[in-house]
Amino acid sequence: MEKKLAVYICTGCGIGDALDIDQLSNLATSDLSVPICRTHANLCSQEGAQLIRDDMANEGVNSLVIAACSPRVMYDVFNFDGVIMERVNLREQVVWCQPPKEEDTQMMAEDYMRMGVTKATKMDLPEPYKPEEELSRDILVVGGGLTGLTASLEAVKAGFSVVLVEKQAELGGFQKKVAKKVTFPYKDIQDNDIDQLIQSVQQNDKIKVYTGAKVEKLVGGPCVFNLTVAQNGSTFEHRIGAVVQAAGWEPYDPAKLDAKLGYGASPNVITNVQFEEMSLAGSITRPSDQQAVKNVAFLQCAGQRDPNYLPYCSATCCFTALKQAIQIKQQNPGSNVFVFFKEMRTPGQGEDFYRKAQEEGVIFVRSQDPEVLVRGSKIEVQAFDELLGDTVLLGDLDLVVLATGMVPRTAFGEDCRAKEKKEGEPEVEVPQDAILASDILNLQYRQGPELPGLQFGFPDSHFICFPYESRRTGIYPAGPVRRPMGVANSIDDATGAVMKAIQCIELTSRGLAVHPRAGDASYPEFFMQRCTQCKRCTEECPFGAINEDEKGNPLPQPTRCRRCGVCMGACPERIISFKNYSVAMIGDTIKSINVPEEYDEKPRILVLACENDAYPALDMVGLRRMTYNAWVRVLPVRCLGSMNLVWVADTLSKGIDGVLLLGCQHGENYQCHFIKGSELANIRLSKVKETLDRLVLESDRVRFETVAITDYDKLPALLDEYAEKLNEIGPNPYKGY
The helix/strand/coil state of 164 is strand
Q: What residues contact 132, with CB distance under 8 A and at least 6 apart?
A: none
Beta-carbon-side half-sphere exposure of residue 334 (alpha carbons within 13 Å): 3
Residue among 296 and 545 whose Cβ is closer to another protein: 296
Residue among 385 and 506 whose Cβ is closer to another protein: 385
Residue among 119 and 323 whose Cβ is closer to another protein: 323
496 in Cβ contact with 326 (< 8 Å) = no
603 in Cβ contact with 701 (< 8 Å) = no
Q: What residues contact 334, with CB distance under 8 A and at least 6 apart?
A: 294
CA 188 to chain centre: 36
Q: What are the b/e assignments for 114-124, b being 16+ CB within 10 Å?
A: bbbbbbbbbbb
537, containing H or E segment: helix 536-540
Shortest Cβ 340–another protein spacing (Å):
11
Shortest Cβ 394–another protein spacing (Å):
4
Shortest Cβ 447–another protein spacing (Å):
49
Shortest Cβ 342–another protein spacing (Å):
15
Q: Which is it for strands 632-637 and 399-402: parallel, antiparallel or unpaired? A: unpaired
Shortest Cβ 393–another protein spacing (Å):
4
Residue among 363 and 626 whose Cβ is closer to another protein: 363
Shortest Cβ 345–another protein spacing (Å):
14
Residue among 336 and 473 whose Cβ is closer to another protein: 336
Shortest Cβ 262–another protein spacing (Å):
16
Q: Which is it for strands 295-299 and 336-341: parallel, antiparallel or unpaired? A: parallel
Residue among 384 and 734 whose Cβ is closer to another protein: 384
Nearest CA to 44 out of 83, 20, 73, 3 is that of 73
Distance CA 586, CA 596 (A): 20
Distance CA 550, CA 333 (A): 69
Residue among 387 and 696 whose Cβ is closer to another protein: 387
483 in Cβ contact with 463 (< 8 Å) = yes
Residue among 358 and 553 whose Cβ is closer to another protein: 358
Residue among 208 and 355 whose Cβ is closer to another protein: 355
Distance CA 270, CA 413 (A): 27
Count other C-beta atoms under 10 Å from residue 126's C-beta.
18
Shortest Cβ 322–another protein spacing (Å):
13
Shortest Cβ 350–another protein spacing (Å):
13
Beta-carbon-side half-sphere exposure of residue 37 (alpha carbons within 13 Å): 19
Q: Which is it for strands 242-245 and 475-477: parallel, antiparallel or unpaired? A: parallel
- Which chain residues interact with another protein by CB under 8 A? 295, 334, 336, 338, 354-355, 358-359, 361-366, 382, 385, 387-388, 390-395
